[in-house]
Amino acid sequence: MEYGQFCPVAKATEIIGEKWTVLIIREALMGSTRYSEFQRGLSLISPTLLSKRLNSLVNHGLLMKKKIQGQRGFEYFPTNSCQELLPIVRSLGDWGMRWARSNLTRSDYDVQLLMLYLQRSIVPENLPGNQSVLRFKFTDIDDMSEWWLLVNDDQVDVCVKDPGKEVDVHFTSSVKTMADIWMGDTTYRKALAAADLKIVGHSALTRNVTAWLKLSMFADLPPASEI
């Protein structure tokens, strides 16, 4: 896509303005390196288009592509050029929280994306011991309604099958409720009071969930209607 303009905004948009590209950059900046990790964060993108967009970002110098040693496949790492987009992506998210959140529909509440974000939001050093198990039960979906986060030291893994380990904290809610809490549209206290959420576990963990499960970086931003 070319606009035929010398304007730097036009030239930048030629590179990052195509569908999915900014979200691929978002995932790279949040730590995704492997093809499967990008797919988890972008569940509706086709494999062909994801490969095309990744290669385009490599060709434009925003990602560096490296062969995985001893394995098939590649990893993608953000270059300095891509890292400089971090404040722009953050500002775009700020704008979206203020002006676009009213456009959310039921289909936007993607459980896979939610669990990816919750996985990234765990603060392992604020959980007791070397291992913790968190179970999430979503009441508004039939497929993939149960998820587990396994915390081993600094490693956090997500599972869709029961790992057979003792669970430290059980969460039960709809996908929307949990997403709204993480995004800052409601709070744990309000969701519990409204019976939209149940949390079962040791009081040392359930008293202050946000100490070990951070909210979104955008959670403190009010919508434009409240400004």
Question: For 98-123, what is each residue's pLDDT tens digit?
Answer: 898 888 888 899 999 999 999 999 99
Residue 28's Cβ-count burial label (10 Å; 0-12, 13-18, 19+) is: buried
Does the domain formed by 106-211 have CATH 3.40.920.10? no
Kindly report the number of other CB atoms within 10 A of residue 161's CB atom: 8
d(CA 54, CA 63): 8
Residue 193's Cβ-count burial label (10 Å; 0-12, 13-18, 19+) is: exposed
Residues in the chain, total: 227
pLDDT band at residue 220 under the 50/70/90 scheme: confident
pTM of the model: 0.89
Mean pLDDT of all residues belonging to the chain: 94
Q: What is the pLDDT of residue 225?
A: 65
pLDDT tens-place string over residues 192-208: 999 999 999 999 999 99
Q: What is the pLDDT of residue 70?
A: 85
Judge whether residue 1 has pLDDT over 70.
yes
Of the candidates 159, 188, 160, 161, the residue with the CA atom closest to the CA atom of residue 172:
188
Residue 172, strand partner residues: 137, 198
Q: What are the boundaries of each domain within the chain?
A: 8-84, 106-211
Task: Give 8-84's CATH code, choosing from 3.30.70.260, 1.10.10.10, 2.60.120.430, 3.40.190.10.
Answer: 1.10.10.10
Q: What is the pLDDT of residue 223?
A: 67
pLDDT tens-place string over residues 9-30: 999 999 999 999 999 999 999 9
pLDDT tens-place string over residues 140-192: 999 999 999 999 999 999 999 999 999 999 999 999 999 999 999 999 999 99
